[in-house]
A and B are shown apart, each in its own frame.
Chain A
Amino acid sequence: MQAVAPRLNGLVRQVPAWPLYVLGALPGIWLVWAGINGGLGVDPVKAMEHRAGLWGLQFLLASLCITPLLRLGRVNLMKFRKPLGLIGFGYVTFHFLIWMALDLSLRWGEIGADLIKRPYIVVGFLGFLALTPLAATSWGGAKRWLGTQAWCRLHRLVYVAVILGAVHFVMQAKVWTMEIIAYLAVTGGLVGLRLIWLRSW
């Protein structure tokens, strides 16, 4: 790692961050295309809903890997952190919209009831809500406007959001599977690392 890291960092410095937005959007575009053209099996609504949600969680978890990579591996991918987080937010939003429009057919009565009484939906929705101020303050000026300290404190909400997201993923399942345990472990590990760092400061 020590030998690889400087070379990798040099390479990363030459690559701009913006293509990541394009790359990150591609699976979403494919998902819509495949859904419309019958490429997602016999239940395209569930397939789209689940994939968008899972990708949201995956991109958020990826964004949480950036700091440990820097601190533990000396690999600097910091410029990709914001795109990864925003793409994650994009998929979480897409997941929420699919749920409302395609899964529940905009039946507002049922949507409203679910958002209040169904624990796993409440948890998922709170996770989405926790992400919105982060996305809203992701532009460059927001840090200056809020002050770096307040901005950093606000953005710790990402840990809350990702925990809620992982718990939502666990709660929607009918049984425990290796996949679910794996996501829970990765989420726990990435957030746990921050707790360890917090204590050692």
Chain B
Amino acid sequence: MWKPDLTRDDVTPERIWLNRRRLIQALGAGSLAGALPFSAAAQEVLEPNTWEEITTYNNFYEFGTDKGDPVRYAGAMQTQPWTVKVDGLVDNPGDYDLTDLIGDLPTEERIYRFRCVEAWSMVIPWNGFELRALLEKVGVQDDANYVAFETAVLPEVMPGVRRPILDWPYREGLRMDEAMHPLTMLATGIYGRLIPNQNGAPMRLVVPWKYGFKSIKSIVRISLTAERPYATWEASNPREYGFYANVNPEVDHPRWSQASERVIGSGLFARRQDTLMFNGYADQVASLYEDMDLTVDF
């Protein structure tokens, strides 16, 4: 069915990308006007972002609204032990210890594009497993049409949840066919290391053809529902954030264009890159939305 176009061999060894960055920085500092062609090269080879880029530039409003807040504050979050409530229309509901829930699921590496609704993007080498594997393990009942997720709310360590920035807990959801899609994964690692707290430890969702806010972090609850579940950003501003939130260069955010994106890590003088339909995964997922008007169900 789905064949990954990127494999483990495509991960650039850390030593090499570090050298590459330094070279690019050195060149950039030396020639202001001549620095433009770098991003053109970046578009040809899909190169994962650095560990630093991936782990210091995060939207995790539970820890604050600044991109640097998560790395600043998330270290205080205890992720072991971690309990995940599985409930709703499942055969085996319960409060699971995370290790018991996913310990026997084999993890693999997936290099995905990551496109934020704020029109920036990264490439991230995730480690994890398909969400489908977990759902099959807990047993999805026939009348379940959606999967709902919830992030932890830990006021002692999360400065953001002490203020009504959003309607906590952060919640997101997927339609069943989206949840069962082989591209949809639960990530527990990045670059072969345990996923850092600021990126959603100990377990987060990754849906590469949707805007980043769908990929909910630090999951404490997974519910199978018949009705479409509450989604935090959709509820916060339904005109700007849709339930589907599929990456779509033709449907603009009311406040900015989604036609292009800034590639994080490409430097000060890099050009924007055209945003791809379904973030470049159209071949794999476009069929899920065939009968829908994507300007209405955005």
Please give the residue numbers on chain A whose beta carbons come within 8 Å of chain B beta carbons, in ascending order.
35-38, 41-46, 48, 102-105, 107, 110, 113-114, 118-121, 171-178
**Is B269 interfacial (CB-CB < 8 Å)?**
yes
**Chain B: residues with CB nearer than 8 A to chain A?**
25, 28-29, 32, 49-50, 52-53, 56-57, 61, 65, 67-68, 118, 120, 163, 165-166, 236, 254-257, 259-260, 262, 264-265, 267-272
User: 18 new A-B pairs (CB below 8 Å) besides A41-B57, A105-B260, A118-B254?
Assistant: A36-B29, A36-B32, A42-B49, A42-B52, A42-B57, A43-B67, A43-B264, A44-B268, A48-B268, A103-B262, A104-B272, A110-B259, A110-B260, A118-B256, A175-B61, A175-B65, A175-B166, A177-B165
Could you say which of B53, B166, B255 contacts A42, with CB atoms under 8 Å apart?
A: B53
- Whether A36 contacts B28 by the Cβ 8 Å rule is yes
With A107-B272, A113-B257 already in contact, the answer to whether A37 and B56 are too (CB < 8 A) is no
Compute how far the CA of A77 lies from the CA of B163 in the bound complex, rounded to whole angstroms. Answer: 39
List the count of A-B residue pairs having beta carbons below 8 Å apart: 70
| B residues near A176, Cβ cutoff 8 Å | 165
**Whole-angstrom distance between the Cβ of A166 and the nearest chain B Cβ:** 17
Q: Give the residues in chain A near B267, CB-CB below 8 Å.
A: 44
28 examples of A-B residue contacts, CB within 8 angstroms = A36-B29, A37-B29, A41-B56, A41-B67, A42-B49, A42-B50, A42-B56, A42-B264, A42-B265, A43-B262, A43-B264, A44-B267, A44-B268, A46-B120, A48-B268, A104-B272, A105-B260, A110-B259, A110-B260, A114-B257, A118-B254, A120-B255, A172-B255, A173-B65, A175-B65, A175-B166, A175-B236, A177-B165
Residues of B within 8 Å of A105, CB to CB, are 260, 270-272
Please give me the residue from chain A that is nearest to B271 by CB atom: A105
**Please, which residues of chain A bring their CB within 8 A of the CB of B56?**
41-42
Q: Cα distance A105–B265 when bound, in Å?
A: 15
Known: A43-B67, A105-B272, A176-B165. A37 touches B260 (CB 8 A): no
